[in-house]
Every structure is written in C-alpha cells, then in structure tokens.
Amino acid sequence: MSAAMAGGTKLLALLLLLHIAVLSSGVQLEDLEEAADLGSVVELTGESIETTISKHDYILVDFYAPWCKFCQSLSPQLDQAAPLLADGEPPIVVAKINADKYRSAVEKYDISVYPTLKFFANGYPTDYDGPHSAHALVTHVRRLTAPAIVVYTSESRFRDFLDTHGSELPIFVGFGLEASVLEKLAHKYRNKAWFAVLGEYSEKAHENFQFDERHALVVLRGVNEVQDVFYGPFEGPDLANFVKRNLPALVTPVNFDSLKFLTEDGRPNVVTVLDSNSSVEADAFIKKMRVAAKENRDFIFSSIVASEWPKFVRPFALGRKPVLPTVIIWNKKLYAKNDKVDAFVGDKMESSLSELLQGYRENTIKLHEVKAPTFYEKATENTTQMLQAIALLVVLFFQWFRKNKEHAAALREETPARAEPNAPAPGFVDASSADSHKED
C-alpha cells in the first residue's frame, strides 16, 4: 500500500471516529454549524439570510451600506456585542447584510434608512430602536427575549434579578400589585424597561426601596438607586403618565442614541452643559440635578460635555469660551438661559436653577431661537474630513501627473526621430556637394 493511500485511510478513520464521538455525545452536526455562528458577526447574503434567520431562535441583523458613516461606527460595537450575546441564555446571534448590494432583502424587510437593526424571534422581526453602544445594546436586546413582565414570589429571587440587570434600563417593580395592573404597559414598553411584581415582601423592603404603603410602584435604576415611587391610582392616565415620564434616567446623557428619545418625550429639556464628566465637581453638580429632576417632573433633565459634541452645543450661543457648568432649557426651536455667565458656578447653582425653572413656567424669562449655523460654520464643521479629502486629491493629482509624464517619455523613445524641414532625406546626396567632392 502506498504512503498516500495509507494517509487517506488514516484520515477517513479519524473522521469516522469524530462522527461517532459527536453522535455518542448527543450533539447534532447541525448544532456544531449553529455554534459557528455564535460569538462573531455573521456576514449574510441574499441567498443565506432566510436560512440563517430560520435556523436560530434569536438573531439580530444589521442592514447596512458600506458607504454609510453611521454603519461604519456601528460595526465595531456589534463586534463587541456578539460574544456577549452569544454567552447569555438564550444565546443570540448577531449578523449583518450589505443591503446596498442585496436589494431583495431591502424590499422584503422594508429597509428605508441605514443602518437598520431588526431583531428576529423565531423568525418574526421587530425593529430595534435602542442604543448602539455595545454594552447598552446587549442589555436592550436581552430585554426583547424576556417576558414582558416577571412575577416573583421570593424576595431572594427578586434580588437576583436586580443584581443581573444593571442600570441601563429602568425597572418598574409593583410591590403588592397584581401582574394584570402593569401587563398592558409592560408590553407597550418592553424594549425600553423591565417590569416585575412582588406580591409578598418583608418589612425590610420598605426601607430598602424607600416606599411606605402596602401597594406601590417603585422605579429603580440598578440595585440601589430609587428613581421615583407611585402610590396610585393604578389605572387610567395617571399610571400611564408615571411610567412614560420615568423611562429616561433622572439625568440622561445626551448622545446620538438618546437624542431622539429626549426630543420625542414632549417635556422641556433641562440641559446641563459640562466641561468634563469625570471630575468631582461634575459629579456633585449632576447629583444636585438629579434632586431637581425628582422635584420637577414636568421637565426632562439631561447632560452633555461640550467638547464631546460641540455641534450640538453651538446653536445655543454660549460663546466661544463659555463658563461651565451652565444650564439651558431647550424646547424644540426655542431655548432659555440665565444671562449671567457664572450663574451656575459654586453656591449659586440651586438658586439660579430655581429662578430659571420658575421663569420658564411663568413665561417671564426671555426665549431665544435656536441659532442656525452660519455659512462659515457649515463650511468648517467637517474640517478634518475636508483636509483629508484635499490631501487625497493632491496625492491623486501627482500620481496622475507622474504617470502621464512617464507615458509621454515612453512615447518619445518609441517614435523615430523626425527629419528637420531643411535636412536631406536619408540616401539623398546633394548635387552641389557631389560636384565639390569630384573637384577634390
């Protein structure tokens, strides 16, 4: 037997043993194929999208276009989220498809903007409109696989639930309430919040979660932060309004993910503008704003670091070098601010904020129109990209110029030298020249 045949026989034997091992372990070959999809972002095509969706119970699909800058920003976030979603229970697959190339997918799933994220549960799609940062995305997608409302009969099990669900989403907990009281709202906001009820609880719960009546709806942000408490009535518009106004955090960071949510809320937005979010002073300022947010629920509160998104801050005419922190009240195309540049610095913060809120409510404070960007600002808002484009054009020009120069030189070498107008043609002997030679 030749060495090649012996090697082939050994390979077949190994494959047979592997197949027997897989079968004996109870693992199907299809399971191994599915496992290959977990932990990384799967690239789909127009032919594979349907089979991949039908193969997995839960899958998040990114419909993207290669030229879309928002798609380019989302891609690394999905790379980070994929292994986290794969490791959970139930496992969730992350996939993407070039919708600009595979137009049939665009038509079937009604894709009109890029990127569009759709979450498929047992083949049925739901639009995902939550945040795009990796860890927040994982929390929001996990929410879509859980029941709309969870009923707990054990305080320890409820504590376990709190420990594992973080603070990305608010947790509405009905103490002493029936699940039916919150069921409708839980289905309506299942992709924006967690809902749970705890029928029986110890007296310690009153102290831990800061409520003092038998029946209460408590809003939590993580394990220890109580955002708000509601004592009824547990029906009608009062309950619905309480839930809606507590969907955002007491002070929500302004970013691309949250801006749509903040503007659609409908309440005037009290925006804190900071020079940093990592200093002791900034932390103390935000704590005071949280207290104010609890006491002024007719407003929604948010914060932003000016240097992180100057394009957002610029229309409020704070000046080139504003004294920060400062506070503005923004409502669609109008905003209000305190005209004193240092109104929110130091001990003046509480009184200045109270004066601003009261003046806005009573319409005694001047409202300004949101400042449209000037022509210069529009022209220079993407300076870095513009300079990069100019540099690229310069490089391309010199490449084109050098290539054409080399091409022209090559043509000159290949073309025979042309006779000068008065020079004799090759092989021609001038008669006068010939006679002179004869005389010599």
Residue 154 lies in a domain: yes
Distance CA 312, CA 254 (A): 9
> DSSP string covering 378-403, please?
HHHTTHHHHHHHHHHHHHHHHHHHHH
H or E segment and range at residue 197: strand 194-198
127 and 154 share a domain? no
Rounded to a whole number of angstroms, the CA Rg of the chain reads 35
Report pLDDT digits (tens) over 225-274. 899 999 999 988 999 999 998 998 899 999 877 888 888 888 999 999 99
Predicted pLDDT at 32: 37
Q: Give the residue from 376, 403, 433 where a domain finishes.
A: 376
49 and 136 share a domain? yes
CATH number of the domain where residue 324 is located? 3.40.30.10
120 and 221 share a domain? no
113 and 168 share a domain? no
Q: Give the residue from 95, 111, 142 where a domain finishes.
A: 142
Domains in the chain, number:
3
66 and 180 share a domain? no
271 and 224 share a domain? no
Distance CA 67, CA 57 (A): 31
172 and 261 share a domain? no
Which structural domain range is residue 317 located in?
251-376
Predicted pLDDT at 30: 43
Q: Could you list the active site residues? A: 68, 71
Report pLDDT digits (tens) over 365-409. 999 998 765 544 444 455 555 565 576 677 677 777 777 777 777
Structure tokens of 112? Answer: 């009109």
Predicted pLDDT at 363: 93
256 and 366 share a domain? yes
Q: Which residues contact 75 (CB under 8 A, 6 or more apart)?
A: 41, 62, 64, 96
Distance CA 151, CA 173 (A): 10
Please list the alpha-helical segments (H only) found in 227-279. Answer: 236-245, 256-264
Residue 22 lies in a domain: no
Predicted pLDDT at 394: 72
Distance CA 305, CA 254 (A): 9
Of the candidates 315, 313, 327, 392, the one whose C-alpha atom is nearest the C-alpha of residue 356 is 327
Residue 1 lies in a domain: no
218 and 272 share a domain? no
217 and 273 share a domain? no
368 and 275 share a domain? yes
Residue 315 lies in a domain: yes
Residue 389 lies in a domain: no
Distance CA 286, CA 429 (A): 102
Q: What is the pTM of this model?
A: 0.65
H or E segment and range at residue 269: strand 269-274
User: Within the chain, which residues score under 50 in pLDDT?
Assistant: 1, 11, 15, 18, 21-35, 375-380, 418-421, 423-440
Predicted pLDDT at 2: 53
Distance CA 38, CA 216 (A): 41
Residue 173 lies in a domain: yes
Distance CA 179, CA 149 (A): 7
Please list the alpha-helical segments (H only) found in 25-154. Answer: 29-37, 49-55, 69-87, 103-108, 134-145
Task: Give the angle subtended at the CA of 257 by the CAs of 253 and 258, to the nearest 5°.
Answer: 45
Q: Give the residue from 200, 223, 245 where a domain finishes.
A: 245
Residue 181 lies in a domain: yes
135 and 168 share a domain? no
Residue 327 lies in a domain: yes
